[in-house]
């Protein structure tokens, strides 16, 4: 399963508070990039690694494309263009402030394009949090 990169996952979690994903990044001291484990086994695997090695591992939630798309406004559409994956306006009507802000973002901002759809979705979500369109989930 493809998920957002470790760096993007960290930033997305800090902004979103999303913690109901099925995946977890575990940054292992012996590997630069870490690795992804399935959530149902993640805590058990992480605890087992700590027990066996005595090392503390940093971890953060990882986000697959489906999870991110469920959190984004319904008015947007992900598509693959010549320059990679990005979003278009979809059903934006500009009849409310959120639609107007989404329209401006997608028309003029290109920083959320990526070769990988989950990366494009993650970058787009981060931009929506920074602009106040999406709000942090507090549990």
For residue range 33-90, what is the model confidence (pLDDT) as tens digits?
Answer: 666 766 556 666 666 766 677 665 667 888 999 999 999 876 677 778 777 887 665 5
pLDDT at 134: 86
Please give the pLDDT value at position 60. 82
Alpha helices in the chain (DSSP H): 6-16, 39-53, 65-71, 97-108, 117-130
**pLDDT exceeds cutoff 80 at 26:** no
Terminal CA-CA length for the chain: 27
pLDDT of residue 42: 60
Give the rounded distance of the alpha carbon of 60 from its chain centre.
Answer: 11
**Domain spans, the chain:** 6-64, 66-130
Tens of pLDDT along 109-138? 566 778 899 998 999 899 889 888 888 987
Backbone φ and ψ of 92, nearest 5°: -75, 130
Q: What band does 102 get if pLDDT is binned at 50, 70 and 90?
A: low
């Amino acid at each position: 399963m493809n998920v957002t990169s470790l760096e993007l996952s960290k930033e997305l979690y800090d902004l979103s508070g999303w913690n109901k994903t099925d995946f977890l990044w575990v940054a292992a001291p012996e590997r630069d990039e870490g690795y992804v484990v399935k959530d149902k086994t993640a805590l058990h695997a992480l605890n087992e690694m700590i027990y066996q090695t005595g090392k503390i591992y940093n971890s953060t939630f990882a986000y697959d494309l489906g999870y991110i798309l469920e959190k984004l406004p319904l008015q947007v559409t992900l598509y693959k263009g010549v320059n990679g994956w990005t979003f278009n306006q979809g059903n934006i009507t500009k009849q409310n402030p959120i639609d107007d802000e989404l329209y401006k973002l997608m028309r003029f901002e290109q920083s959320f394009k990526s070769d990988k759809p989950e990366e494009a979705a993650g970058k787009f979500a981060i931009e929506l949090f920074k602009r106040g369109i999406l709000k942090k989930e507090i549990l």
